[in-house]
Structure 1
Amino acid sequence: MQYCNKCGRPLNDGEVCGCMQSAPQKKKSYTLLFAIGIPVLCLAALAAAVLLLRVITDMSWRSKQGRMADMNKVAEEMTEAADKALQKISSEGGDVSGWNNINSDEDIPISYKFDIGRFHEYFSEYTGSSDKEFFIIAHDGRVEYLAVSDSWSNTADAVGTYPSFDDSPVYFSRDDIKEKVGKGKRLRDVYIEGTRELMDIRYRE
């Protein structure tokens, strides 16, 4: 008579004890794998999201830079049209002397020594972009600075200026200081800075 070495049960010749077959298998533990893997995966996903956001932001800014370069060309064309309009006003006896701040926003109260309605009429004849929002700083009948955009207050709309610097719009300055218009700036922001500079010039004169 044979006996099981494990449980001591009597066995017939050649018989295998059932306790050997039904012994519970030891389960593998994935606790350590989860403890390490999940944080690593989370960090990798976060890093990928940050990288994707930077790429999208960079592409958006590059796209806006391209639109600003295009808008600078519009500003240059509008400057020529504004010069022609002022010259025509002057030839008709209008007083375009001194500093003049001309803009497309009728809600901004500004007095002029010439017929501003006539200026806008002539300006529209000389440019195909008079439907855009803009402001002009002119001195003695010549445009010193012009800024243009599709809106006054939307940061998504590119601002273009004449003059510009390295295809980038700049703020108005008579001191040959070319400060570029930065990200997120609206036409109204550029107008406010230009008006401050103009007031300072008038004070110094």
Structure 2
Amino acid sequence: MSFCTRCGRPLAEGETCSCSTAFTNPPQNNYPQQPQYNGCGGQPYPQGYPQAPYGQPPYPQYVQPPYAQQKKSDGWVIALVIGIVLLLALIAAAILVPAMLGYTHKSRLSSIRSQANVLRKAAETSMIEIDEEGSNVKGIYIISSDEKDNVAVPFDIDDFNTRLDRYFEGAEKYKYFIVVNNGYVEYAALSESWTKKTEMIGTWPVGTDDKPREYSKDGSSVFSDKKTNLDNLYWEAYDQIFG
């Protein structure tokens, strides 16, 4: 006995199973063909599936965008510039400050020397007036801003001081003394202090650099130590005249 190779039914000799006929001509379904959708519930694509976003290969190579480079700090440059500026400022100060101090010192010295000359001229003018009025101006003597240090003055000292104040505006400011010989001022010295060695001294005739000139009876140029004071100059003059 034979069997159907499809359904396994036993067949009589020479019999053909009806299932073979059914599989040979399968029935056609009458269902309508479903349209192709674009995957999003929309209408079908006009030409099948969409194209790739970059078109046909070869596709462009992907390049990673460069990251923004971190800006380097300029702090060290600023610090270097500031250091150079400070160094130049220190060098300039080292040069200019001593020069300015020297200029200030010379300016003060020149001013006080000028005042000594003004004192000398004012004293001579006062003695000319006294002489013209008949007072005696002969002899050698010392006139001082400190009354107790006036020595051998032959005329009224109060009258002289009144006239001197009129011609010398610094009479109240400065300490001074003058050496007079027959109405002519041979020497004048003044300062703002009798005893301070730090105070500048102006003399006529003038000294050299910052060393004041001492009085010399014979007219020689003698320069005192720069650390001297007005009181020392007075007693040196006194000793030469009356010593």
| TM-score tier (shorter) | 0.5 to 0.7
Q: Quick check: which one's strand share is greater?
A: 1
1:99 match: 140
Q: Distance in 2 between matches of 1:62 and 1:194?
A: 31
The answer to whether the 8 A contact 2:179-2:185 is kept is: yes
Q: Quick check: which one's helix share is greater?
A: 1
Q: CA deviation at 1:110?
A: 3.2
Q: Quick one: which amino acid aligns to residue 135 of structure 1?
A: F
TM-score by length of 2: 0.54
Q: Which runs of 5 or more structure 2 residues have no equivalent in the other structure?
A: 1-96
1:198 match: 241
Q: Distance in 2 between matches of 1:70 and 1:105?
A: 22
Q: Distance in 2 between matches of 1:65 and 1:76?
A: 17
1:119 match: 160
Q: CA deviation at 1:136?
A: 0.5
Task: Report which stretch shifted further, 176-185 or 153-162.
Answer: 176-185
The answer to whether the 8 A contact 1:69-1:167 is kept is: no
Alignment of 1:8-47 (within 5 A): none
Q: Residues 171 and 97 (structure 1 numbering): CA distance in 2 closer, same or farther, change over 3 Å?
A: same
The answer to whether the 8 A contact 1:135-1:146 is kept is: yes
2:120 match: 79
1:157 match: 199
Instruction: Identify which of structures 1 and 2 has the higher relative contact order when contacts are C-alpha pairs closer than 8 Å and 6+ apart.
Output: 1
Q: Which runs of 5 or more structure 1 residues have no equivalent in the other structure?
A: 1-54, 201-205
Could you say which structure has the larger radius of gyration? 2
Q: CA deviation at 1:60?
A: 7.8
Q: Distance in 2 between matches of 1:191 and 1:62?
A: 29
- Is 1:171 aligned with 2:214? yes
The answer to whether the 8 A contact 2:143-2:150 is kept is: no
| Percent of residue pairs bearing the same amino acid type | 28
Match of 1:144 among 183, 186, 195: 186
Q: Quick one: which amino acid aligns to residue 183 of structure 1?
A: K
SS of corresponding position for 1:164:
coil
How many pairs align? 146
Q: Distance in 2 between matches of 1:164 and 1:100?
A: 20
Q: Distance in 2 between matches of 1:167 and 1:76?
A: 17
2:71 match: none
Q: CA deviation at 1:72?
A: 1.1
Q: CA deviation at 1:100?
A: 1.6
Q: Distance in 2 between matches of 1:190 and 1:61?
A: 25
Q: Residues 157 and 60 (structure 1 numbering): CA distance in 2 closer, same or farther, change over 3 Å?
A: farther
Q: CA deviation at 1:106?
A: 2.0
1:31 match: none
